[in-house]
Amino acid sequence: MAQHTQKGKLMEHTGQPLKASTSRRSFLRKGLAVGAAGTLGAGLLANGVPAFAQSGGITPGDAAILRFLSALETLETDFWQQYNELGGVQDSEVPGGSGNPTYTAALAVLDSDMAQYIHDNTEDEFTHFTFINAYLVSKGAQPVNLDQFRTLPSSKATGAQKIKRLTNLMQLTVDTSYWTKYRSRTKNPDFGDTFPPAVPGLLQGQFPAIPRSDKDLSPPDHIQAIANTAGFHFAFIEQGGTSLYPSLAQRVTDKEVLRILLSIGPTETMHFQTWQDKAGNAPPLTDPTNGLVFPDLNAPPFDGEDFNTNLIMPEPTIFLSRTFPVCSIIRPTETEGAAMGALKALTDDGLFIGQSKAFFTFMQDLAAAADAA
């Protein structure tokens, strides 16, 4: 559909009669069929002029990158809304839900402004996918709509809307290695390095980040563990966006599309920085219902530069080549396979547990097309 629109604009612009452009149209048709599979960077006209240059549209590759980002932002919005309904601020900017006082209070242990921050992060995600979809439409490209995949259950706890969701916040396996990744002065994931998690227990099972029902509201250390899980999950998600935007920006063709990625990406970084700071306030405890341990990151064996909770600025580390001086940077930013890598990280996180095969196929196709751009 996007392609037809683009072609229509092309005709209008060049004023060529249909008859004279038969070969070009058949080339475009062939090219676009390939483009849909994600292997054609930019449709070229028979005379070698990029199709987008005459149509005012964007390249299939740029559209594929934006479509993948739109899908991820839609998914982000879905789970941030679940957090906001239970633990944020429900208002006209972010409607839905009525709040869960016990969960909200447990989150407030990390920072008294948590509810406001959750609200603001949720609104940001909503604007990200809405903007990208509107931009795609303005360029004659297809937007992304995931509504058909809203099949997962809501929390039964007081405060949550009882509607179908895209994501699952009740069986998370949160990778907190971002904590040590940004504190290392000698390692970088782009060099194949790996990093120990700040909360090893969160990688060793499936844990709720929201109360599944009102039964989860007690005992106090259980609901606090759920709030702590959320606190570390917030930072996990947003550090992913922090890497994804610069990774994909390297393959964008159009300056305006690049501007979009360079303008949205750093807001993910603002989120990450805030959440990392708040996660450091999660009280050390053991969940009496499942044994999940939140260690004291300022005491042995966890203390030191890799774990101390006030070290939230990135440490400089190796970048591009070990022959260069170290540099304070976002990491990773490798562009190859970045979209599929992001999808895998979210899948491993447990966010899509219960989703249909069709959902995974749909998302993998979007990621593959973005990575082929």
**How far apart (Å, rounded) are the C-alpha atoms in residues 97 and 156?**
12
Q: Report 50-89 residues binding Fe ion (CB under 5 A).
A: 73, 76
Q: How many Å separate Cα 164 from the centre of its chain?
A: 20
**Which is closer to Fe ion, CB of 80 or CB of 302?**
80
Q: How far is the CB of 94 from Fe ion (least distance, A)?
A: 14
Q: How far is the CB of 123 from Fe ion (least distance, A)?
A: 11
Q: How far is the CB of 264 from Fe ion (least distance, A)?
A: 6
**How far apart (Å, rounded) are the C-alpha atoms in residues 361 and 373?**
18
User: Helix (H, G, I), strand (E, B), or coil: what is residue 155?
Assistant: coil
Contacts of 282 (CB under 8 A, 6+ apart): 109, 110, 227, 228, 231, 232, 294
Take residue 16 and report the two structure tokens written for it: 């060529």
Burial label, 134 (beta-carbon count in 10 A; 0-12, 13-18, 19+): exposed
Residue 128 interacting with Fe ion (CB under 5 A): yes
Take residue 264 and report the two structure tokens written for it: 């949205």
Residue 125 interacting with Fe ion (CB under 5 A): yes
**Which is closer to Fe ion, CB of 238 or CB of 349?**
238
**Which is closer to Fe ion, CB of 62 or CB of 238?**
238
Q: With contact defined as beta carbons under 8 Å apart, do 32 and 10 qualify?
A: no
User: Which residue is listed with tokens 């058949």?
Assistant: 26
Q: With contact defined as beta carbons under 8 Å apart, do 197 and 179 qualify?
A: yes
**Which is closer to Fe ion, CB of 254 or CB of 268?**
268
* # chain residues binding Fe ion, by CB under 5 A: 7
Q: What is the DSSP secondary structure assignment for residue 316, as one 8-state letter? A: P
Q: Report 217-246 residues binding Fe ion (CB under 5 A).
A: 238, 241
**Which is closer to Fe ion, CB of 28 or CB of 366?**
366
Count helices and strands (H / E) in the chain.
11, 2
In degrees, rounded to 5, the angle at the alpha carbon of residue 116 between the alpha carbons of residues 114 and 121 is: 95
Pairing outcome for strands 285-286 and 293-294: antiparallel
Q: How far is the CB of 245 from Fe ion (least distance, A)?
A: 9
**Which is closer to Fe ion, CB of 198 or CB of 244?**
244
**Which is closer to Fe ion, CB of 7 or CB of 128?**
128
Per-residue binding letters, 320-339, with Fe ion (x by CB under 5 A)? --------------------
Q: How far is the CB of 217 from Fe ion (least distance, A)?
A: 27
Take residue 345 and report the two structure tokens written for it: 């990280």
Stretch that binds Fe ion, among 31-39, 50-58, 145-153, 263-271 (CB under 5 A): 263-271
* Residue 327 φ/ψ, nearest 5 degrees: -145, 140
**Which is closer to Fe ion, CB of 32 or CB of 338?**
338
Residue 123 interacting with Fe ion (CB under 5 A): no
Q: How many Å separate Cα 61 from the centre of its chain?
A: 19
Q: How far is the CB of 183 from Fe ion (least distance, A)?
A: 22
Q: How far is the CB of 154 from Fe ion (least distance, A)?
A: 21
Residue 268 interacting with Fe ion (CB under 5 A): yes
Stretch that binds Fe ion, among 17-25, 82-90, 97-105, 118-126 (CB under 5 A): 118-126
Residue nearest to Fe ion (CB): 128
Residue 349 interacting with Fe ion (CB under 5 A): no
φ/ψ region of 100 (left if φ > 0, alpha if ψ in -120 to 50, else beta) reads beta
Q: With contact defined as beta carbons under 8 Å apart, do 75 and 166 qualify?
A: yes
Give the total residue count for the chain: 373
**How far apart (Å, rounded) are the C-alpha atoms in residues 369 and 249?**
15
**Which is closer to Fe ion, CB of 70 or CB of 317?**
70
Q: How far is the CB of 67 from Fe ion (least distance, A)?
A: 15
Q: How far is the CB of 358 from Fe ion (least distance, A)?
A: 24
Q: How far is the CB of 241 from Fe ion (least distance, A)?
A: 4
Would you tell me which residues interact with Fe ion (CB under 5 A)? Answer: 73, 76, 125, 128, 238, 241, 268
